[in-house]
Amino acid sequence: MGVLVGLAQSAGWSVRVVATPAAVGFLDIDALVAQCGAEIRSDYRLTGGTGRRSSQADVLIVAPATYNTINKLASGVNDTYALNVVAEAIGRGTPVVILPFVNSALAARQPCSRSVQSLRAEGVRVLLGPGEWVPHPPGTGDQQLANFPWHAALAAATESGTCSPPP
């Protein structure tokens, strides 16, 4: 996650991180707060804070997106702040890029295929398939982390022509 934040900041973006409650355990929250200069959101209310709502962002990148996140988002499940932010952004027409991190067994399932098709039909850029990101074999996720294509998500957010880095 810190890699994507750094890439976006180097391109001139102001970055805010919203994480699912499940993702918080995998993140170095203190390092991300220092890197972003803002609290990491995982719930609807900031502790004593104020600021721009994440759903009002210029572009959203959902990465790494799990099987569960992809399927919940496509199905309209809105049971976390992070899903709420993305669902509202899609409804507002805000550019959304999803970079999955699922294994090939999960990606091969019909619920995932239908979800990806549904999200793409709503204008979401899902970076899944040949030439984008190809799911890894089950049990090899840890081996894929060093080569996770964070740069592809940022490139997709800027190359679509719907958004560009700030001047």
**Cα–Cα distance, 110 to 121 (Å, whole number):** 16
CB atoms within 10 A of CB 4: 19
Query: Could you tell me what percent of the chain has a pLDDT over 90?
Result: 73
* pLDDT for res 97: 97
Task: Reply yes or no on whether the pLDDT at 15 is more than 50.
Answer: yes
- Tell me what pLDDT residue 44 has: 82
For residue 89 the two structure tokens come to 């952004």
In this predicted model, which residue has the larger pLDDT, 30 or 44?
30
Are 126 and 135 contacting, i.e. CB atoms less than 8 angstroms apart?
no
State the average pLDDT over residues 114-119: 98
pLDDT at 166 over 50: no
Q: What is the pLDDT of residue 48?
A: 59
| pLDDT tier, 164 (very low <50, low <70, confident <90, very high otherwise) | very low
- Quote the pLDDT of residue 98: 97
**Sheet order of strands, 125-126 included:** 60-65, 96-100, 125-126
* Mean local confidence (pLDDT), 66-92: 95
Confidence at 55, pLDDT banded by 50, 70, 90:
very low
Q: Identify the residue with better confidence: 1 or 134.
A: 134
Q: Given this model, what pLDDT does residue 128 score?
A: 96
The pLDDT score that the predictor gives to residue 158 is: 86
Task: Please check the confidence at residue 53 and state whether its pLDDT lies above 60.
Answer: no
Quick check: helix, strand or coil at residue 61? strand
Distance (Å, whole) CA 166 – CA 14: 9
pLDDT of residue 106: 98
